[in-house]
Amino acid sequence: MLKIAVYGKGGIGKSTLTSNLSAAFAYSGKKVIQIGCDPKADSTLNLLGGVPLESVMSYMRVHDEDPQSLAEISRRGYKNILCIETGGPTPGLGCAGRGIIATFALLEDLGLFETYCPDVVLYDVLGDVVCGGFAAPIREGYAEQVLIVTSGEKMALYAANNIAVAVQNFADRSYASVRGIILNRRNVPDEEKKVKAFSAQIGVPVIADIPRCDDINHSEEQGKTVIETNPFSSISQTFLQLATLLGKEA
């Protein structure tokens, strides 16, 4: 089972990249789970036709009890991808990180991986703060590999460096390692040069270069990934190639 956590600054495009990568794996015949680990609970929108999925934390608030089955907190999306959103606390109350920890414990109790037997699990994780629950995919062994999404913007690179440091802090415990950097272009000056310098600084390769592309925006307007809209487009081929690269190590 290939277990990957996708980290990056908020707004850098993690959810778009993660859902397109999930779709690429599924298009290639893999059995995929995507778990959104962000209080906004919007990671899986483009796998579900743009229809929001009730998050685990929202379910527990509404029903005032833990769900008794996976069916209550998940939904099948494109190519049968199993979608789950951890969600977060009521805005202004509680800790979103604790919500992730509670959700992961619940999924273990419900036997998620034993029941579904996935080939690939993707965690879409907020990377502005790498503490507590947001570090759970790294710290608790849920993920084996980390992908860092960044542009050449200063704050995106700052967050990316924090993520790399956080992963390194767990290296002696045989937890997840950083597999690669994904450059999600914003077309800022010297963008490629800046990201390559960061790559050299932390000793991690840039394994994918995602251009700004209208096809992505047009697909999202339909609540879809580019893989679903047109798997033969050049941008879809970029995601399929990335899935192939990562899948070779599964």
List residues bridging with 4 in a β-sheet: 122, 145
Annotated domain spans of the chain: 2-247
Q: What would the two tokens of residue 154 be?
A: 């200063």
**Residue that the structure tokens 């209208």 belong to:** 214
Active site residue 30: no
Q: Give the C-alpha separation, 211 to 201, whole Å.
A: 23
**Residue that the structure tokens 């796998």 belong to:** 47
Q: Which of 14, 79, 194, 224 is catalytic?
A: 14
Angle between helices 96-109 and 56-63 (to 10 degrees): 90
Q: Which of 31, 40, 196, 209 is catalytic?
A: 40
Q: Which of 66, 119, 128, 209 is catalytic?
A: 128
**What's the confidence (pLDDT) of residue 169?**
81
Per-residue pLDDT tens digits of the chain, which is 250 residues long: 999 999 999 899 999 999 999 999 999 999 999 999 988 889 999 999 999 999 998 998 898 888 999 999 999 999 999 999 998 766 665 566 677 888 899 999 999 999 999 999 999 998 776 666 678 787 777 899 999 999 999 999 999 999 999 888 877 676 789 999 999 999 999 999 999 999 999 999 999 999 999 999 999 999 999 999 999 999 999 999 999 999 985 5
pTM of the model: 0.94
Residue-wise pLDDT for 114-138, tens only, equals 999 999 999 999 877 666 667 878 7
Residues, the chain = 250
Q: Give the C-alpha separation, 52 to 54, whole Å.
A: 7
Active site residue 14: yes
Active site residue 154: no
Answer CATH for 2-247 from 1.10.3720.10, 3.40.50.300, 3.40.50.920, 3.90.245.10: 3.40.50.300
**What's the confidence (pLDDT) of residue 179?**
94
Q: Give the C-alpha separation, 180 to 195, whole Å.
A: 12
